[in-house]
Every structure is written in C-alpha cells, then in structure tokens.
Amino acid sequence: MTMMVNLSVAVVVIAIRLALSHALSTPHRYCLAQCAANDCCHDQLYSGENFSTWTYVVQDTRQPAQDDDITLVTFGTLNRLATFERTRQRWDGPIVYVIPIYVHTAELKEAAATTILSLKDKVYPKTLVIVIYISHVDDFYSTRFRREKQDPTANALLPLNTLRNIALDLADTLYVFPLDLDFVPSGEVYAALQGLLPTIHRIPRAAIVLPNFESLDCDNPDVPATFGELHRSLMAGRVRPFFAEAQELIPNAPPAIQLGSTLCFEEHPDFARGVNLTNYGRWLNESSQGLQGFFKIHTELKASIPSLKTDTAWESFAVLRKEDIDGYQLPRYREGFVGRYFDKISFLVDLRAQAYNFYTLRQHLVTHVPHRRTQSGTVPHYEFLNKAMKKLFDNEKRELQATVRRTRKEIVANWKGMDLEARRLVESGTVLGSTEGGTAH
C-alpha cells in the first residue's frame, strides 16, 4: 500500500519525541486485537520501535517540547473531525490526535488513502495527527459482536484503551490531558492550568478534574466557552452534568428541557454515580463567586470487596503528570477493554487505588457534543459486550485490593516527608480570588 511507504522524516520525528517522552524509557507494545478475554493476538501486538509499519504521520506541527507544558491527547474516527476542530480552537497548547482507520479490505485501503490525502490539506497548529491502521477482522470480541448483531460486514470493535495509550506516549510534555474526542473544553482552560502548574507540581500524584457536562440539542448544541455561558445554559435546561439529572447533583438546578431527538440523549439518565465525586454543587457555587484554582475531592478507595464493588463508577477527565516528582510513572490504560463500557472507569479506578490526589478545577469544564445515535446503541447485541467488559472490570477490582493496601503505606511515607504548607495544599487544594491568592483551609 503506497501510504505505508517508509516515511523517514516522519519516523525521525516520532523517534525523537518518543525519546523525549517522560513515560517512555523504552518503547511500549500496543495490542490492536484480542484473541481471547484480555489476551492479545500475537500478530496484533505492535512495538513503538516500528511505528512506520502500522501508522501514518499526517502532520506534526508541534514546537520543541517544554516540561512545563500540557498536551491534550485524544483519539477518534473521522466522523467527529468537526468536534476536534472546535477543540483545537479552544485549546491553546499542543494536541495529539490519533485516528483509527479500518484497512482490512481493498476498498477500505483505497478509501483510507483518499482520507489521508484530504487530511494532509488541513494544517492544525501545535498538533500531531497520526493514523493507526486497523487491519484485523476476526478477533475474539468482534466476531461475537457480528454474530449478535447478525451483520457479518460490521467493522471490528476499536481497541479504545490501546489508542489512548498511543496518544499518551506520543505526547512529549510532562503533563497530559486525556480527553475523548466528543468532548470540547471551555476556552482559557489551557492558560488557567498553565498558571497553576507551579502549584500542581508540588502535589504528589495530582489529578486536576474538569467537570463534564453534556449538551442536549443535537441540531444546535450549546458548547459553553466560559463559566458564565455554562451557568446560563444549565439554568435554561439546555445542558446538564454528563448522563445525570442536574437536580441530583446541583441544588436548585432546573430539569432538562426536551430538545432535539430522543435518539440524541437519554431522557432520564441514571448515571449520577458516574460523576458525583466531582462535586458539581461546590464547583458551581464557588465558580459563581469568581473563585479560581482547585479544591480537593475525596475519591479514596477502601481495600474491602464491598467498597470496590460499589464505589467505582466515577468517570472523569483529568490533567495528569506522566512522571511524578518521586519518579512514579502514570499507570497505563488497560488494553483488554475494547468497543465500549468500563474502559475509562477502569483507568480511574487504577489511579484511585494508587493514591492519586484528585481536585476539581473551578471555572472550567468540558462539554459533550451530542451526535444522533442509531438504534444500534440500545439493542441486545451490545449486551454481551457490556457483560464481557464488566467481567474484566470485576477481575481488575479484585487485583486492586493489594494495590490499595500497598499505597496506604506509600501515603504515610510521603506524608511524613512534607512540610506543613505542602500538607495543607494536598488536603485542600488552592483557592484564588483573582490572579493572586493562597491555599484554602
């Protein structure tokens, strides 16, 4: 295939950036297909040492990496390109955008070549755009999915967490912001985070969370650029916390008004437990007062089985450090999760089990941009995938009991080495009334 020729310049760029990456002392291996539950197909395990054989660098317009920078990392198919372009307008820092493209038939290969040519006509500042070729067809989960769907031509299920790991590894900055492609950040969030980095850098295993909302209008979605815009849309019932009734999380919030098609969003969502730890009520109240900075949220896990069974649904997006101040490496997304269900939650549970300190960033947010769904998202052929991914997740939680116990000891050791001011920062976060301020008590 002509698009897979040896791209020496692009490969050199990738090699340099991988060498600079804090998380890649040696190249990782990436699983693009599972041959059994959580068992990678041998011929679908690819190395970061030979990116040019299974990827294509469309463009890399990033500047030389700075340690005190933050890369937004995302992935997604080209049907969400317009949402990516909106994110590119909002985020002033570097971005890594990983695009999976199916190439398992001659027709798809030809279409992929055309797609790449069209992408090369677009130039995005400070952005790495890289295509990942998806050539497998008969992997463990996709074969079952086609059988359940009764559609032998359906595309393979995407290896979501593998794509996330690739995007993270290609970021050459110390800080990263993993964000799904169908979410758009508010404006000025990059500048706000840049100003807070000296404070964030003092906190071991810091995770700075942006509350996630969803717009409810498919035809003319509200995608707030500021807190003020979010507040107006929230009070008008045009946006709500992601997949949750606003009244469950925010005092005095109005009900969502009926907008767009019922195939665009769930009329009565029941996933408040998936976002409640973010503390929307406090975020809204303090942001309304003009406060900036971030506040501590309590996401600790207990080692007991009941806690790991009931307290693990939280799903959020957070700014993270690839290598911590004590040399601790950011955990990787578990690549056994494919298609959908529990893929991001499993990563958050890993972070929580390993004693990450979570904080909610005031004034800023991310918004899910809706797209019209087909009935396929609600019919039975997804049920088997939900059960299969939940089984992986349950196995993960059992493994994490020992991790939770071990990290408790690490917390005690780290705490003893902190001065009083650092302890207050870890416990409470920071509150700023303007560009100047101090630590919250």
pLDDT tens-digit profile of 78-136? 889 999 999 999 999 999 999 999 888 889 889 888 988 888 889 999 999 999 998 88
Q: Using a cut of 0.85, tell me whether the model's pTM lies above it.
A: yes
- Token pair 């650092």: residue: 422
* Confidence band, pLDDT 50/70/90 cuts, at residue 13: very low
Q: Residue 267: what pLDDT?
A: 64
Average pLDDT, the chain: 83
Q: Residue 66: what pLDDT?
A: 81
Q: Residue 91: what pLDDT?
A: 98
Mean pLDDT of 225-244: 92
The Cα-based distances of 151 to 147, 376, 381 in angstroms read: 7, 12, 10
Position 324, amino acid: D
pLDDT tens-digit profile of 307-326? 555 567 888 999 999 998 77
Q: Which range among 25-39, 54-68, 328-342 shows the weakest confidence by mean pLDDT?
A: 25-39
Q: Residue 373: what pLDDT?
A: 60
Mean pLDDT of 393-405: 81
Q: Residue 12: what pLDDT?
A: 37
pLDDT tens-digit profile of 173-193? 999 999 999 999 999 999 999
Q: Residue 87: what pLDDT?
A: 97
Residues in contact with 116: Cβ distance below 8 Å, sequence separation at least 6, in sequence order: 3, 56, 58, 101, 131
> Is residue 158 exposed (0-12), middle (13-18) or buried (19+ Cβ within 10 Å)?
buried
* Confidence band, pLDDT 50/70/90 cuts, at residue 71: very high
Q: Residue 407: what pLDDT?
A: 75
Residue 121, token pair as written in the block: 């006509």
**Contact 73/179 with Cβ under 8 angstroms?**
yes
Q: Residue 438: what pLDDT?
A: 35
pLDDT tens-digit profile of 264-286? 666 667 677 778 899 999 999 99
pLDDT of residue 335 exceeding 90? yes
pLDDT of residue 289 exceeding 80? yes
d(CA 309, CA 231): 34
**Three-state DSSP string of the chain:** CHHHCCCHHHHHHHHHHHHHCCCCCCCCEEECCEEECCEECHHHEEEHHHHHHCEEEEEECCCCCCCCCEEEEEECCHHHHHHHHHHHHHCCCCEEEEEEEECCCHHHHHHHHHHHHHHHCCCCCCEEEEEEEECCCCCHHHHHHHHHHCCCCCCCCCCHHHHHHHHHHHCCCCEEEECCCCEEECCCHHHHHHHHHHHHCCCCCEEEEECEEEECCCCCCCCCCCHHHHHHHHHCCCEEECCCCHHHHCCCCCCCCCCCCCCCCCCCCCCHHHCHHHCHHHHHHHHHCCCEEEEECCCCCCCCHHHHHHCCCCCCEEEEECECCCCCECCCCCCCCCCCCCHHHHHHHHHHHCCCEEEEECCCCEEECCCCCCHHHCCHHHHHHHHHHHHHHHHHHHHHHHHHHHHHHHHHHHHHCCCHHHHHHHHHEEEECCCCEEECC
Mean pLDDT of 52-80: 90
Q: Residue 162: what pLDDT?
A: 96
Residue 147, token pair as written in the block: 């059988």
Q: Residue 375: what pLDDT?
A: 45
pLDDT of residue 405 exceeding 60? yes
**Contact 266/241 with Cβ under 8 angstroms?**
no
Mean pLDDT of 322-337: 90
Q: Residue 259: what pLDDT?
A: 61
The Cα-based distances of 371 to 209, 376, 410 in angstroms read: 24, 14, 44
* Confidence band, pLDDT 50/70/90 cuts, at residue 294: very high
pLDDT of residue 19 exceeding 70? no
Q: Residue 5: what pLDDT?
A: 35
pLDDT of residue 252 exceeding 70? yes
Mean pLDDT of 185-209: 95
